[in-house]
Structure 1
Amino acid sequence: MLTGRPEASRSTRRSFPVIARLILLASTAAVSAAAPAAAQEAAQPAPPAAQDAEPVSTDASETEDAIVVTGARRREEQVQDVPIAISVIGGEQLEQTGSINVGRLTQIQPSVQFFTTNPRNSAANIRGLGAPFGLTNDGIEQGVGIYIDQVYYSRIAVATFDFLDVERIEVLRGPQGTLYGKNTTAGAIAITTRAPTFQPEARLEVSLGNFDHVAAKASVSGPLVDDVLAVRLAASRSNRRGTIYNVATDRWVNEQDNLGLRGQLLWRPLSTVDVTLSADYNRQNPECCAQIYVRTGATQRPLNRQFAALAAAFGYAPPSTDPFDRLTDLDTPLDAFQEIGGVALRAEWDVGPGTLTSVSAWRFWNWGPSNDRDFTGLPITTVSANPSRQNQYSQEFRYAGSGGRFDYVAGLFAYHQKQHTTGAQEQGAAASRWLLNPSSANAGNPAALNGLRSENDIRLETTSLAAFGQLSWHVTDRLTLQPGVRLNYDRKNGAYVAIVITGSGSTTLNNDQRGVLAPQSYRPVFSDWNLSGDFTASYRPGEDVLAYATYAKSFKSGGINLAGLPLDAGNNPILGASTVEPEKVDHFEIGLKTQFLDRRATLNLAGFWTEIRDYQATVTNGQLGVLRGYLANADKVRVRGVEADFSIRPSDRLNLYASGAFTDHEYVRFVDAPCPPELAGGAAASAANPPSAPGTPGGFSPANCDISGQWLPGISKWAASYGGEYNHPATFLGLRGEAYLGIDASYRSRFSSNPSRSAYTDIHGYGLANLRIGFRTDGGWNLFGWVRNVLDAEYYEVLATQSGSTGLVVGQPGDPRTYGITAQARF
């Protein structure tokens, strides 16, 4: 029983950069200046946005105002006219459903998966594809592109930040390389923020909840020069106490601490020209991210070197063996500080039959972590940190036009990225017994590894160039043929240097020490050209029915290993593993988009079949002491399935929605994959000593395993989201409006949480339900209470194993039940 509670949050330990201070001061001044104008406008009802009419969008259009998208084919069009599997979520719905970041989208978009153990080690996938499951390796790219206001964000860590002043999100499923600047082989998440307006407006939102949750968002927009110059400023701040209690430090960990600032300046010198300058700064500074004891499973390591015996030898026991007690005793400081920001200039000029667009951007990312990679309160690994800094520059030119029976898009894209990581890992007094082979004479000598330290210098420089285009030929009023092509060049230059010193300061290492932290120095290089393309045929048999079929041939750039290489029998790096081949994608899709009941109902269906050769996988390194995975190519994987999106508005008072996805997935061929933990940790198998049965202590382990036919990690076979909202006219505190009740629920079936499926790391299926009840007026006021995970379901976001084949399984429990109240106002 806990008798005390630690402090709710930490003070900010780093000052804002100059750009953040300037935006914050400008926001404060603008809000003060706009207050009188906003007060005059408060009594006037705000015009409804078409994208915000559904409580949660599938692909549905409104009865009167169809949802309009721009990211799908780089021009404005109704979503039901786009022959792509696309979902649209309006800004109001993000706020109503508590979808505060990309991670939360998974609860309303069953085809989106998001996994994270900390902001850097995150992955956003669509239909199970995009980024390999496991620890992030900077030498490969995301297969799902995240774009904010048409700017490509290379760091998936941005997905953990709160959405700020968002107008809508478009989730495009399947390859999109013939339309987007950066190649995206699995799909794209295109986020559009609210633009500056020439009519004064302001928005304010404040939320309070359990776990000391406090959040506030504000935005203000208006003209500086009538019809010529307009400004928009937005800010958000959110905090929440951690959900896991560290008994060793008397503190709550895995907290939330987010700050977001954004400013935009719109210049309209002519009615045909818009120039938008934007700047943003986002910062997180939580005490995070702990993974805690879940269970143990038998490996092939000798029994006295598995978790139970090792813990007993130190007189150690975890604070709880029930992970949903949410207790830990980690003895290494936790930190997940990061800041992301940048400046972008977008110019749009209506010229000739179309629009010429230029998007120039610079972005930075600073990462300052600290982790406890042994997941226990013992001094096994006392330092694990890889602080990193990145700068990226991108330029895109694009022309989208229409003429007669043809619509077309053509573009050029250039991207350059520089990243520098300076990592450190240090072992403690318990490392020798925990990590060394039992046959080693040093296995019982604490001094053998105590103070052993690796300091890493990691550099990456990436250049991408592309030319792309797509043509839509309206052969008849019903039939459209749409070919697309992309020419792409990628080059990656890396450098990895690891210097290892002993606790006494010597660089002379014995074989045991090299087996735990190996000195490495290598410079991987990858460069390649590729030509990809797609072809879509769409046919409209009726006014409200669209059928389409697509084939896409796509590539994801090859990669380089920048997390250290596996070792050979002499504990030397295997240089042949320094690069991985490009992924080669063949994608087939058919779809049907329909509306009926006077367009009050929408049903969209999609079937897809995707095969990838040389699939890039992050695999677990089975060597003792090695904490990070490395990259490898699986020969072939396949993902295929069916998706359905349905919504109906039978009356102005009620709307309902349901989305579902069935996804069949497997490694078609991966014959030399690392083995799961139950087949690891034993002596090397041979012809004389064949591999032992899984989980045989002291057994013989194969060098690798054939996992052909097994599941891919992170993908549920079944996933669904469903819900609705009912409203009724009401009066509250003298204000006329409507009361409403909404529910949003989701389900996903069992999935694997290990690159090579293990009996110990499958995550059972689970369902979540969220409720909201509130009152809103036509004048822009909205007050509602909310409960997330209303049934307090116990589930895991990820599971992982401790290095060294000890059998320890750790995990990150999902959020417990949370509740609170939110007040919103628009002026």
Structure 2
Amino acid sequence: MYKNRMLATISPSALCSAIAAASTSMVALPSAAQIVGLEEVIVTARKRQETLLDAPLAVTAFSGDQLRAEGLRNLSDLARVVPNLDVATDAQAQIYIRGVGARNPGINYDSGVGIYVDGAYLSRMQGGLLDNVDLASVQVVRGPQGTLFGKNTTGGAIIYTTNRPVDGWEGDFEVRVGNYDRQDFKGTVNVPLIEGTLNSRLSAWSVHRDGYIDNEWDDSERNEEDRVGGQGQLRWLPTDAVTIDLNLSYSETDQAGFGQDCNPIDQPGAGFLAEQLAPLLLETTGKTYAEHCADNGALGKDDVINDYFTPDTKEEIWQGIATLEWELSDSLSFKSISAWRDIESEGPTDVDAVGIALLTAGASTPATDGFQTDIFSQEFQLTGSTLNDKLSFATGLYYFEENGTVNLASGQGPLSADRFPGAPFPLPGDTNFLFYNFSLLDTETDNESMAAYVQFDWDLADQWTVSAGIRYTDETREFRRTRLVPDATVGNPPAQPLGGVIGGEVSAWLLPGGIETFNIAHDWIASIDPQNDQTVSVDSDDWTPMVSLGYSFENIGWVDNGNAYLTYSEGFLSGGVSEQLDPVSGELGTFKPEEVKNYELGVKLVALDNTLSINTALFYMDYTDRQLTSVKLNPTTGAPQGTAINAAESSVMGLEIETVWLPLSNLELTANLTLNDGDIDEFDDTQILGGGAGNELGLDCIELDTAPLEVCSIDRSDEDLPRLPEYSYTLGARMDFSVAGGTLTPQISYNYRDSVEYCQDRGSCVSGAYNQDRENLSASLTWSNETWRIRLWGNNLTDDRYISGGQFVTDTLGSIAGHYNAPRTYGADLGFKF
């Protein structure tokens, strides 16, 4: 008989034999005296409990024990073991499934991958890294989940479930040490309060690792980790039929941001801004941008020269989730999930990746408030079965509200000199020329979404099941944008405005008292341009249906049992309002919702006397108005800006295979393979180029007033889709041995991803510099018994280095910039449980 590790209490010895996280099934490796066999996996990705074998979904599931045994500490670690999952971490987590996600952390942009904690939707990238502490399970569902999980799941969903309080005292504590001064702690204690009625559970954690990038600009370390958090839970059982859970959590991040490497690139038309600013840079710094970039690149991957307007990334997140479950009868249950989330964040980006104050995005100053948002959601679910359990159903109502403000500065400078750019003589006295093209964007966003859904499963016959469902979503998004400019009294004595150097507003001053009188903590005043105060609202609604036909079988040759399914599903990703002005009209631009139709054929097998598991999914995803990113020219400031843009038609076709084999009672082998073919069929965009480059490239261009710049129409349908590897595979092996009153478990895992594309603008995609292969070799040696566990581990043992984050733009400055993944890391974990 199968055991259910997600539903039942696990003996400590079972921990020692948790499966390798590269597999899709949870496997308990028994001792030599027991029968070898795969363990049944229970998943809840369809809002009800069912076996992984029966679920007509491409889903990878992990128990909390597996996450701990494999050293998967946060969401980013899952990317090395889950097929078609990619997680990049700059200040926030950028998550992609099957090449679908989002880069922009702005409050009015959403990701195509939904993250859920205890049923509550987390809408923002901020705080999305999610340290894996006291979890019952994590499920990664691939493909659109628009019926049960709603908007913003065009790529898939990641579902976190925490451990609930139980009767009885128990605890689990672990410390981790490693190179780069790794010092982590996490601990959980379960405290019973009223037997059979009220229980509590408390967790705390801290994560610390020194940076592995040295910044010569200020002798700081970049790319560090420094997070703390806590979680408190209560479970109240007022009656046998009612369960009430309350989960309150807090997390805080305060760590040095990422340091970017930089190398100039010789590409036609690339670097229009660097060329435009060349006289200014030569006068104020003595070098061109390309020379500054080359100085940075000459230091190598782990040494940089980056200036930072604000040095650290900071986040504070409060979250509360209240869940009520009411068993109305043996076949009908009601659930209410209420959630709120409060986020405060700041994390500036050094866009230029050099050691001069050239381009900065999202800077915090004493006069700015940063990123703040309040989120509330409410869901009511009704699930049950009828017709002698032949028909099961899930239906519900959902409401989501988000109110946020962003008050952050971005721009160019400050750069100063004792003369005007190009002038042969210095200014009189102590007067300085100052280039400072900054502005403050003060934005407010109100997002509201309402939905209703229903889905049912009907057992047509002993072997056939049909599933069908539909969801209706209605959404309103209002965005107000006010642009403020520096108060002219930025010095003492006051600065004298000179007018625009780039764009039409003040971007240069004379400082009569010298550069030391410049006040970086100046006030802000309203812009004189009426286009800099705009409000735009967009409404959208959509129906997202699904239908699936499943066929179960058993005892066919070497196959013990299995299930095949054919699914059609739809999803959509919210459209919205761009944060920036349209470069042609000067109005706030909008972008359309992203819609997808998914066709999926899956086969799941258990074979060879329950020792072999094979799960496969063949899929085709047809996208309309795929949301990608472009770079435009701000009509007011003349500075480049990132903006969302729709690619009219695109598609992804792929094959995912996940296998687990137990050839011996103490040996487990895993092998996973993905093959992908992504195509952009229609993607019209514009590209900003230096004068004359458009003709050289054979493009249709319009010369701008800010000559010698030109805007050229381009067809980007020849590019690869972002974050979608052409193929990837994972190989793993582990064994269990009885040693010294416990179990010794050596294991090894190797993951390889081919041709992962991280580019953003046209120039970066054409360059091929951000299209990279990636590998990770990990190994560990664990000894454990009923109370203690010791684990020695190493990650990225081959020391494979690749660009894992950054700006991924080339047209603007003519450079390849980004920060690299962590080098080889190693250490030890010591755990104790009771």
TM-score between the two structures when normalised by the length of structure 2: 0.84
Q: Quick one: which of 112, 124, 134 aligns to 2:95? A: 124
Structure 1 residue 343, shift from structure 2 partner? 1.3
Would the alpha carbon gap of residues 534 and 51 (structure 1) be closer, same or farther in structure 2, given more than 3 Å must change? farther
Structure 1 residue 94, shift from structure 2 partner? 1.8
| 1:81-124 deviation per Cα after TM superposition (whole angstroms, max 9, x unaligned) | 111111001222222333211111110112111123212xx421
2:257 matched residue in structure 1: 288
2:817 matched residue in structure 1: 810
Matched, 1:79 2:52: yes
2:766 matched residue in structure 1: 758
Alpha-carbon distance between aligned partners in 1 of 2:808 and 2:391, rounded to the nearest angstrom: 55
Would the alpha carbon gap of residues 260 and 626 (structure 1) be closer, same or farther in structure 2, given more than 3 Å must change? same
Q: Percent identity?
A: 26
Q: Quick one: which of 527, 530, 539 aligns to 2:551? A: 539
Structure 1 residue 294, shift from structure 2 partner? 3.9
Q: Give the 3-state SS of the residue equivalent to 2:83 in structure 1.
A: coil
2:349 matched residue in structure 1: 371
Q: Give the 3-state SS of the residue equivalent to 2:736 in structure 1.
A: strand
1:350 matched residue in structure 2: 327
Q: Quick one: which of 396, 402, 413 aligns to 2:385? A: 402
Alpha-carbon distance between aligned partners in 2 of 1:502 and 1:703, rounded to the nearest angstrom: 36
2:24 matched residue in structure 1: 58
Q: Give the 3-state SS of the residue equivalent to 2:88 in structure 1.
A: strand
Structure 1 stretch 292-301 or stretch 504-513: which is displaced more? 504-513
Q: Quick one: which of 594, 599, 616 aligns to 1:588? A: 599
Would the alpha carbon gap of residues 342 and 688 (structure 1) be closer, same or farther in structure 2, given more than 3 Å must change? closer
Alpha-carbon distance between aligned partners in 1 of 2:222 and 2:11, rounded to the nearest angstrom: 43
Would the alpha carbon gap of residues 59 and 147 (structure 1) be closer, same or farther in structure 2, given more than 3 Å must change? same
Structure 1 stretch 654-663 or stretch 499-508: which is displaced more? 499-508
Answer whether contact 1:379 1:429 (CA < 8 A) is retained: yes
Structure 1 residue 668, shift from structure 2 partner? 0.9
Answer whether contact 2:577 2:590 (CA < 8 A) is retained: yes
Would the alpha carbon gap of residues 447 and 394 (structure 1) be closer, same or farther in structure 2, given more than 3 Å must change? farther
Structure 1 residue 139, shift from structure 2 partner? 1.8
Matched, 1:243 2:212: yes
Alpha-carbon distance between aligned partners in 1 of 2:573 and 2:362, rounded to the nearest angstrom: 30
Would the alpha carbon gap of residues 658 and 503 (structure 1) be closer, same or farther in structure 2, given more than 3 Å must change? farther
Alpha-carbon distance between aligned partners in 2 of 1:381 and 1:803, rounded to the nearest angstrom: 14
TM-score between the two structures when normalised by the length of structure 1: 0.85
| 1:350-399 deviation per Cα after TM superposition (whole angstroms, max 9, x unaligned) | 11212211001111111022332322111324674261101000100001
Matched, 1:46 2:12: yes
Structure 1 residue 315, shift from structure 2 partner? 4.0
Structure 1 residue 504, shift from structure 2 partner? 5.6
Structure 1 residue 295, shift from structure 2 partner? 4.3
- Counterparts of residues 161-560 of structure 1 (less than 5 Å): 161-180=130-149, 183-300=152-269, 305=275, 314-316=285-287, 317=292, 318-352=295-329, 353-381=331-359, 384-385=362-363, 387-403=370-386, 404=388, 405-430=390-415, 450-501=435-486, 509-510=499-500, 512-514=502-504, 520-542=532-554, 544-560=561-577
User: Amino acid of the residue matched to residue 400 of structure 1?
Assistant: T
Would the alpha carbon gap of residues 319 and 632 (structure 1) be closer, same or farther in structure 2, given more than 3 Å must change? closer
Matched, 1:743 2:756: no
Would the alpha carbon gap of residues 247 and 488 (structure 1) be closer, same or farther in structure 2, given more than 3 Å must change? same
Answer whether contact 1:301 1:699 (CA < 8 A) is retained: no
Alpha-carbon distance between aligned partners in 1 of 2:715 and 2:361, rounded to the nearest angstrom: 35
Answer whether contact 2:598 2:620 (CA < 8 A) is retained: yes
1:18 matched residue in structure 2: none
- Counterparts of residues 690-701 of structure 1 (less than 5 Å): none
Would the alpha carbon gap of residues 811 and 448 (structure 1) be closer, same or farther in structure 2, given more than 3 Å must change? same
Larger strand fraction of residues: 2
Alpha-carbon distance between aligned partners in 2 of 1:516 and 1:475, rounded to the nearest angstrom: 72
1:29 matched residue in structure 2: none
Q: Give the 3-state SS of the residue equivalent to 2:504 in structure 1.
A: helix
Q: Quick one: which of 783, 791, 799 aligns to 2:790? A: 783
| 1:147-189 deviation per Cα after TM superposition (whole angstroms, max 9, x unaligned) | 1111111112233242221121001111112222655222110
Alpha-carbon distance between aligned partners in 2 of 1:198 and 1:182, rounded to the nearest angstrom: 38
- Counterparts of residues 705-724 of structure 1 (less than 5 Å): 705-724=714-733
User: Amino acid of the residue matched to residue 770 of structure 2?
Assistant: D
Q: Give the 3-state SS of the residue equivalent to 1:598 in structure 2.
A: coil
Would the alpha carbon gap of residues 429 and 151 (structure 1) be closer, same or farther in structure 2, given more than 3 Å must change? closer
Structure 1 residue 790, shift from structure 2 partner? 0.7
Structure 1 residue 585, shift from structure 2 partner? 1.2
Alpha-carbon distance between aligned partners in 2 of 1:98 and 1:311, rounded to the nearest angstrom: 47
2:7 matched residue in structure 1: none
| 1:404-453 deviation per Cα after TM superposition (whole angstroms, max 9, x unaligned) | 210100010001000001011243254999xx9x9x999x9997762332
Alpha-carbon distance between aligned partners in 2 of 1:528 and 1:320, rounded to the nearest angstrom: 46
CA RMSD in angstroms comes to: 3.2
Gaps of 5+ in 1: 1-43, 693-697
2:518 matched residue in structure 1: none
1:5 matched residue in structure 2: none
Structure 1 residue 263, shift from structure 2 partner? 0.6
Q: Give the 3-state SS of the residue equivalent to 2:681 in structure 1.
A: strand
Would the alpha carbon gap of residues 206 and 808 (structure 1) be closer, same or farther in structure 2, given more than 3 Å must change? same
Gaps of 5+ in 2: 1-9, 29-35, 365-369, 491-495, 508-526, 555-559, 702-706
Alpha-carbon distance between aligned partners in 2 of 1:320 and 1:689, rounded to the nearest angstrom: 32
Would the alpha carbon gap of residues 368 and 800 (structure 1) be closer, same or farther in structure 2, given more than 3 Å must change? closer
Answer whether contact 1:431 1:450 (CA < 8 A) is retained: yes
Alpha-carbon distance between aligned partners in 2 of 1:297 and 1:500, rounded to the nearest angstrom: 35
Would the alpha carbon gap of residues 169 and 50 (structure 1) be closer, same or farther in structure 2, given more than 3 Å must change? farther
Answer whether contact 1:231 1:264 (CA < 8 A) is retained: yes
Structure 1 stretch 302-311 or stretch 89-98: which is displaced more? 302-311
Q: Quick one: which of 574, 586, 596 aligns to 2:586? A: 574
Answer whether contact 1:135 1:628 (CA < 8 A) is retained: no
Alpha-carbon distance between aligned partners in 1 of 2:709 and 2:502, rounded to the nearest angstrom: 20
Answer whether contact 1:622 1:804 (CA < 8 A) is retained: no
Structure 1 residue 332, shift from structure 2 partner? 3.1
2:625 matched residue in structure 1: 614
Would the alpha carbon gap of residues 325 and 242 (structure 1) be closer, same or farther in structure 2, given more than 3 Å must change? closer
Q: Give the 3-state SS of the residue equivalent to 2:351 in structure 1.
A: coil
Answer whether contact 2:110 2:124 (CA < 8 A) is retained: no
Alpha-carbon distance between aligned partners in 2 of 1:821 and 1:686, rounded to the nearest angstrom: 59
Structure 1 residue 803, shift from structure 2 partner? 7.4
Structure 1 residue 329, shift from structure 2 partner? 3.8
Q: Quick one: which of 657, 662, 677 aligns to 1:644? A: 657
User: Amino acid of the residue matched to residue 422 of structure 1?
Assistant: N
User: Amino acid of the residue matched to residue 510 of structure 1?
Assistant: G
Answer whether contact 2:263 2:297 (CA < 8 A) is retained: no
Structure 1 stretch 260-269 or stretch 535-544: which is displaced more? 535-544
Alpha-carbon distance between aligned partners in 2 of 1:221 and 1:278, rounded to the nearest angstrom: 13
Alpha-carbon distance between aligned partners in 2 of 1:425 and 1:628, rounded to the nearest angstrom: 10
Alpha-carbon distance between aligned partners in 2 of 1:578 and 1:325, rounded to the nearest angstrom: 39
Answer whether contact 2:37 2:662 (CA < 8 A) is retained: no
Would the alpha carbon gap of residues 380 and 475 (structure 1) be closer, same or farther in structure 2, given more than 3 Å must change? same
Q: Give the 3-state SS of the residue equivalent to 1:216 in structure 2.
A: strand
Would the alpha carbon gap of residues 622 and 680 (structure 1) be closer, same or farther in structure 2, given more than 3 Å must change? farther
Alpha-carbon distance between aligned partners in 2 of 1:195 and 1:801, rounded to the nearest angstrom: 42
Structure 1 residue 457, shift from structure 2 partner? 0.6
